[in-house]
Amino acid sequence: MERSVLGTSGIRVSRICLGSATFGVAPDATSAGAMVGAALDLGIDFFDTADVYGSTPTFDRPGVPPAGERASAEEILGRALVGHRDEVVLASKSGERRFDATAGLSRRYIAQQVEQSLRRLQTDRIDLYYAHFPDPSTPLEETLAAYDTLIQQGKIRSVALSNHAAWQVTQALWIADDRRLASAPVAAQVQYSLLHRKAECELTSACQKFGLSIVPFAPLHGGLLASLAVLERPVAGDERYGGSRFDDREVAVARALAVLADDWGMQMQHLSLAWLLAQTTVASVIVGAETPEELQANASATDINLTAEQVAHLSAMTADLAD
């Protein structure tokens, strides 16, 4: 498994990151350990989670226990990594407000959530800690100062931003530099795929200019960019997170990608992930595989080296989405 460095942090991570958003649902709590074991066997040493993953109503689906009866993704991941903590890079997040009116990026809330995440993850430090969503109620100066204190205490190693716009990333860098903080963000996590290219409007340029890495989530767009078989699943696309399925344009692109993959003698997920990994700012992509077999198929994308012409061809398929 290839590795890359996250921004200016010096932290080396596998180019495939295992996301745990649906841990407790798919895979369920009893099979998540096998998923983590499969990841380690594949050379994946980068794991992504958050304080709200797994056990909040967003992830409810038919046939699984309701949110209140499920363990959190952090708890499940923490148990699975017992005995392997020093072998991996662990990322978590806090700040999502959908399920907690007191949530956000205030100093008090961050300090509380870090302590709870450390307990659930059964660790003494988090390698990469994200501000999950912007918090308009809290000055960014306060948020970065809180992270700075946690870095000094050794509870987190590096800071990153998730779902933040380019101007917010730039502002955070300016504040950190102006105040000589150790909490300058080193990475930006954002939805990014052949079917979701808003990041290319401004964020990728800002990250390239200032030396941040991008860590895309939903790189296979809910599985649609991996296999047309996902269209037959009872739960697909953003339905996994309480959203909607796919629209006609998305399905049309996926069908064209399937034809192209066949012509090139590759698999759809290989083209989709290899295209992302070819972007200069992308350090690692987060895959939300639900089975070890899916994870194996995704991980093998790191062995694919697309030519410049192939990358350009794929880019042209959805060029309008990058405007």
Point out the residues that are catalytic: 53
Separation of alpha carbons 287 and 302, rounded Å: 13
Angle of the 166-178 helix axis to the 203-210 helix axis, nearest 10: 30
Separation of alpha carbons 222 and 293, rounded Å: 16
Separation of alpha carbons 320 and 323, rounded Å: 6
Separation of alpha carbons 159 and 183, rounded Å: 6
Separation of alpha carbons 74 and 54, rounded Å: 8
Kindly state the greatest CA–CA separation across the chain.
55
Residue 92 backbone phi and psi in degrees, to 5:
-140, 180
Separation of alpha carbons 145 and 149, rounded Å: 6
Amino acid identity for residue 14 in this structure: S
